[in-house]
Chain A
Amino acid sequence: MTRSSPPTKIPAKSGSLLAALLAYLLPFLIELPGLSEAGHRLFSVFLLAVVLWVTEAIPLFATSALVILLLVSTLSQAAAPLLWGLPDGFSSGKAPDFTFYLNCLADKVLILFLGGFFLAAGAAKFGLDRNLASLMLKPFGTKPSRVLLGLMLITGILSMWMSNTATCATMMAVVIPLIQRLDPTDRFRSALALGIPFAANLGGMATPVGSPPNAIALAALKQSGQCSFPQWMMFALPITLILLATTWLVLLTLFRTRTKNIDISIKPKWNQSTPAWIYYLTASATILLWMTETLHGINSFIVGLIPITVLLATQVVNTREFRSMEWDVLWLVAGGIALGQAVAVTGFDRWIVGLINWNSVPGYALGGLLATTALLLSTFISNSAAANLLAPIAVAVAINAGSSPVAAIASVALGSSLAMCLPISTPPNAIAYATGAVKTRDMAIAGLAVAGAGAILLILLLSTFMRWSGIH
């Protein structure tokens, strides 16, 4: 018989909105030396995006829509007839057409990502993820440490192709019964409950479709360098695998168990219907084509359209499922892409980079700085929002410092996926915490260890892995 008044969030929200408005107005009040008028306008939009993406006073994707609207109405030809008119100072000498920003909503990277959504939708529909999990777990036996390793590897592999959140939800459903069978005082419960979200976060790093920050990174590279699907995997997959092994060791060290055996038996129920087979074949073909891009030369964006087309045309993904795709994620990424393009055309990138003498900064320090900034920022805000804000600047900084823009941008994308110290850091962490099987303190300690190892790994080895994958 408890009484509670409904929680009220309105004051906090209006405070954040006011802060966003002030942030937007700031560049109009202060004249920044060396920054063009267009650059000032862009700085306004950028500051507004920072406040709104950090505070989430309005949904993340709504901020994206607002960013695109502001860019179109203040920094494109569409501004000419408006009260404030066209600004000076575009790098090309001329303001872009409004479609320059609107087209970001259908960017090729988003089509690639949508292709990934279709693979995930089918996996959920036909229970493929769960079946694969049961199939791949068998060889790992029943020894607790082996079971944990198996669970983490499977989670990582699934998360390379499905959203981190969906993978974590699927695999937590497998793990919760195991946790419940362990003695309540057995610390190994925390190892199981943390292994899944951490592996989901790490798996998302390995492919361009694994996690939104990767898509943002690829989009930001458009003008300044290329990175194919297999190239991304060649430098990111080793990092994912090393970090999965590190995480496994960290969890085994922190949470020892007295249990000798963990019996894990999920019975696979393979769906043999025609739609299921269409899906299995389409998904395999898509993944195969993505990984062999260098052999056949069909770029991954076009390949992304294949599962979309086949699964829609055959009605394997029906209208309702098509409507319930995560369009909000695509819009969130689109806002970041638009912001990145605007940063480049207004010369804002050169101005902000010019504030520091980057020539004195060695390449690995630059990558380390970017990765650490992304890691810190995305510990507290959405990984995608962090990548949205950092990606445009990272490219400019790298070009200015004469180092590889791909390395810089990959540091941002991978760094933002390393954030896993707190329940709020990523949705998979939130899920694991919500099950009640893990304490914040344990998550923080293990998460810090993994993030620290990841940051060191990025600084020391990313450039080597990149050289191996043919990126300079």
Chain B
Amino acid sequence: MITILCLEDESEVRDAILRDLRPFESHFRIEAAGDAADAAALLGDLAKDGDSLGLILCDHRLPGESGVDFLTNINADDEWRHSRKILLTGQAGQQDTIRAINHGGLNHYLAKPWNPEELRNAVRDQLTTFVIEQNIDPLPYLAILDAERLLEKIRSIGAP
């Protein structure tokens, strides 16, 4: 199963994000972590279960390792390089943001406070790209992700 990982230390904020992502629950495994160490342990679990990481939704200011540092670390790992990465933060400076783009493989930046619809659109868009780029069968995701882009993919790969 494709997983969405949400890395956010404040529990109320985390709950709000998870609530906004509820429409994706039917098709994706959604995991949440409070700090980078927690997230790294979850990634270990994913690898063990044979699940892929489709998307990380990451805050920057965290206890311990920062969000941008965490993104940079996992972007250097072949296993997670292709996972889509969204930074959802109010407190990343220009330097951190540049680092996230150049070395963390950042795909999308969302500022706090976020608009739930905007968040869902970004998640939908990034996961659609993940399914297309990783050559995952698009059919199961037609109803939940960007159908137009997935149909384009189906047209190009064909079927018996």
Contact = CB atoms under 8 A, between A and B. Distances in A.
Contact of A6 (B31, B50, B147, B158): B50
Interface string A310-339: 000000000000001010110010000000
B65 interface: no
A431 B49 CA distance: 29
A139 interface: no
A165 B148 CA distance: 15
A165 B151 contact: no
**Mostly helix, strand, loop or mixed at chain B's interface?**
mixed
A124 interface: yes
Given A1-B32, A4-B29, A324 B148 contact: no
Interface in B144-160: 147-148, 151-152, 154-160
A124 B147 CA distance: 17
A173 interface: yes
A173 B155 CA distance: 10
Contact of B147 (A3, A165, A435): A435
Nearest to B138: A434
Q: Per DSSP, are chain A's interface residues mostly helix, strand or loop, or mixed?
A: helix
A172 B154 CA distance: 11
Contact of A173 (B25, B148, B160): B148
Contact of B143 (A2, A324, A427, A436): A436
27 contacts: A1-B30, A1-B32, A2-B30, A3-B29, A4-B29, A4-B49, A6-B1, A6-B51, A60-B160, A124-B156, A163-B158, A165-B154, A165-B159, A166-B158, A169-B154, A169-B155, A170-B155, A172-B147, A176-B151, A324-B156, A382-B160, A427-B160, A431-B139, A431-B151, A431-B154, A435-B147, A436-B143
Interface of A: 1-6, 60, 124, 163, 165-166, 169-170, 172-173, 176, 212, 324, 326, 328-329, 332, 382, 384, 427, 430-431, 434-436
Interface of B: 1, 25, 29-32, 49-51, 139-140, 142-143, 147-148, 151-152, 154-160
